[in-house]
Structure 1
Amino acid sequence: MDSTERIQAASSFLLQSPPGEINDVLNDVRTIISDDDLLQEGVLPALREYNIAQFITVDVPGTQHQSIVSEAARITVEDEEEERFLDPRSKTSFRFDHLSLEASDPQSVEPDEDTESLRAALESSALSYLSSHYHDGVATVFATPGSSRFTVQIVANKYNPSNFWSGRWRSEYVVNLDDHTIEGKVFVNVHYYEQGNVQLATSHNLSLSLPAAVVTSSPGSSASKIFALIDSEESKYQTSLNDAYHEMGEKTFKGLRRALPMTRQKLDWDKVLGYRLGAELAASKGVFGNA
């Protein structure tokens, strides 16, 4: 396998990394490449793709909060060789290192005057929603300049390596006031790896209609009503996942194994050693009988 093939293999492994475990995967693929400089250069595109798709969060320089690195956050700046990402909450753009996961070079950004009032109201509702429903989450709300289109992104991570599991919830909602719609996507990834390796990767798409009263209300009222709809949809999806897990435990997993051995009788584990000893004696008896 040449260096190009090894880089492609390493990149593929990285893109499939479970939540919070990409550094572990990166350390493992170092043995495949055996060249740190080549590894860093070769897998950087994969790291960028992974970070953007997974809504990686970053501490914004000069603030006390985190923002989401995503395609919606990416902005184009003239005469800039490196891409920048926007934190609308602090009205700051920054560079992001996809290897170290750190932000740098903060610069002020003037918001769009026509959309900022509703964007800020959505952000306020998003933060309230987080505190009510997420143990540790980050939300960012982006406005599309010159339109009535807003993108709400939410991510919550839970890493518990001492108990061998990790998980990530991502949701994105595109609010279009012109079309009176909300188009949403929810992604859930869970990895459990104690004495095994089980991963759950599921997604849910939704489309909602916004009543005219929501569109014509004040920014604060509209934002509250929009998040009431989001709350309802996410609660229903959470319930459906819980029901699916229960059914899997009661039916699916039980269907993967026999309820009873071929004898149709339960095995008495206290007698297992006796069964083995009896088999050995029977084998010995056969040998002695042929002597």
Structure 2
Amino acid sequence: MRACFLNLHSTHCFTNKSRKKVMAEEETELSDKQKKEIAKWFLLNAPAGEIQYVAKDLKSVLNNDDVYDEAASEAFPVYNKSHMICLEMPGRFGDVLVTSYGELQGNEYLDPKTAQVAIVDHVKQVCTEVRPATDEELPTPYVEEYRCALEAEMLKYVSEAYPKGSCSVYCINGKDVEGPGYDFELVAVISAARLSPQNFCTGSWRSIWNIECKDDIQVLELKGKLQVGAHYFEEGNVQLDAKHECRDSTMFQSPDDGAIAIASLIRHHETEYLASLEASYLNLPDATFKDLRRKLPVTRTLFPWHSTSQFNLTREISKELGIGK
């Protein structure tokens, strides 16, 4: 990778020889730091499920293991958490979602469903070890009752709506609350991906739902962030990155009651958003793409399809060139 920096504001005149000398001096090799930052950008912007393909090509292009290893060690953890990748835990413990909400220390991630902590190799995207979570890493029994109730409802919903999806529910604030009258906050995350590189397409769904439990007034406040990504690259390169945010609230009287209400609201908002996406795509040919085209030709008049004889190109050219006279 090379960069050429030319002084476009110089008023000096150079001979060919001196110009070549100056250009040779100003054409400099990128530093290792610059190469690392460029490599990180490519890795972080890889579509869902495609970072390993990008990494393989980058390693070949860089031809410098030290630069690549440094870029990969910084980019992969950020990518894995932002895409909320799902990894299988050894020992038949199930799967763990790699998210910032479950991040403990180092490369350790809590799986609330099993109360296990997974140790993750970010660059290889595998779970290498599992250990039981400590009491300090888990919420109190009071908060856990609410968390488990919501998790059960979310698992039902995700199994119906996202056949290859995963979800987890974490307590991110107030996990030490021991009883009624105190507020705490849960977050439910859904991650689903459909990867088919052999068919030149990949797609992903990510949604994050923050639930503030105002226990003193028995109100649940819901904030959602939804993100849909798709990449189609057969004889072309088309990417989709759609985002949506929403809010809602509901009353609750018990953990089960609140869980059912929250899951119902999430189902409603996600279904509504998907329907709006489908509607916008149905309008693409007749509305969006049509608006991109010129409505009238350069003459600013409609083309007279009923009388095209006036556009007899051969006759006009012959007349101008005097052919046939």
TM-score (norm. length: structure 2):
0.75
CA distance in 2, matches of 1:72, 1:265: 64
Please say if 1:225 is aligned against 2:261.
yes
Q: Is the 8 A contact 2:93 2:114 kept in 1?
A: no
One-letter code aligned to 1:230: I
One-letter code aligned to 1:254: K
Q: Is the 8 A contact 2:89 2:129 kept in 1?
A: no
Closer, same or farther: CA 265–35 of 1 in aligned 2, 3 Å: farther
Query: 2:91 matched to which residue of 1?
Result: 62
**Alignment RMSD (CA, Å):** 2.7
Structure 2 unaligned spans of 5+: 1-29, 178-183, 306-313
One-letter code aligned to 2:161: H
Please say if 1:34 is aligned against 2:63.
yes
1:31-180 equivalences under 5 Å are: 31-76=60-105, 82-109=106-133, 110=135, 111-112=138-139, 113-144=141-172, 145-147=175-177, 148-178=184-214, 180=220
Please say if 1:204 is aligned against 2:244.
yes
Q: Please point out which of 186, 190, 193 is paired with 2:226.
A: 186
CA distance in 1, matches of 2:304, 2:55: 49
Write the deviation string for residues 55-107 of structure 1: whole angstroms up to 9, x where unpaired: 0111122235222101101114xxxxx34110011100121111111112311
- TM-superposed deviation, 1:225: 1.4
TM-score (norm. length: structure 1):
0.83
Query: 1:271 matched to which residue of 2?
Result: none
Structure 1 unaligned spans of 5+: 77-81, 267-277
Write the deviation string for residues 162-214 of structure 1: whole angstroms up to 9, x where unpaired: 33211110001111111630111001111111221111111111111122xx2
Query: 2:53 matched to which residue of 1?
Result: 24
- Please give the secondary structure, in 2, of the residue aligned with 1:74: coil
Query: 2:303 matched to which residue of 1?
Result: 264
Q: Is the 8 A contact 1:7 1:33 kept in 2?
A: no
Q: Is the 8 A contact 2:229 2:240 kept in 1?
A: yes
CA distance in 2, matches of 1:60, 1:12: 29
Larger Rg: 2
- Please give the secondary structure, in 1, of the residue aligned with 2:235: coil
- Please give the secondary structure, in 2, of the residue aligned with 1:114: helix
CA distance in 1, matches of 2:160, 2:269: 15
Closer, same or farther: CA 260–166 of 1 in aligned 2, 3 Å: farther
Q: Is the 8 A contact 1:156 1:169 kept in 2?
A: yes
- Please give the secondary structure, in 1, of the residue aligned with 2:283: helix
- Please give the secondary structure, in 1, of the residue aligned with 2:142: coil
Closer, same or farther: CA 83–260 of 1 in aligned 2, 3 Å: same
Q: Is the 8 A contact 2:212 2:222 kept in 1?
A: yes
- Please give the secondary structure, in 2, of the residue aligned with 1:75: coil
Write the deviation string for residues 87-131 of structure 1: whole angstroms up to 9, x where unpaired: 011100121111111112311114322211111111111111111
Query: Across the two proteins, how many residue pairs are aligned to each other?
Result: 268
Q: Which has the higher contact order (CA 8 A, sep 6+)?
A: 1
CA distance in 1, matches of 2:191, 2:163: 11
- TM-superposed deviation, 1:260: 9.0
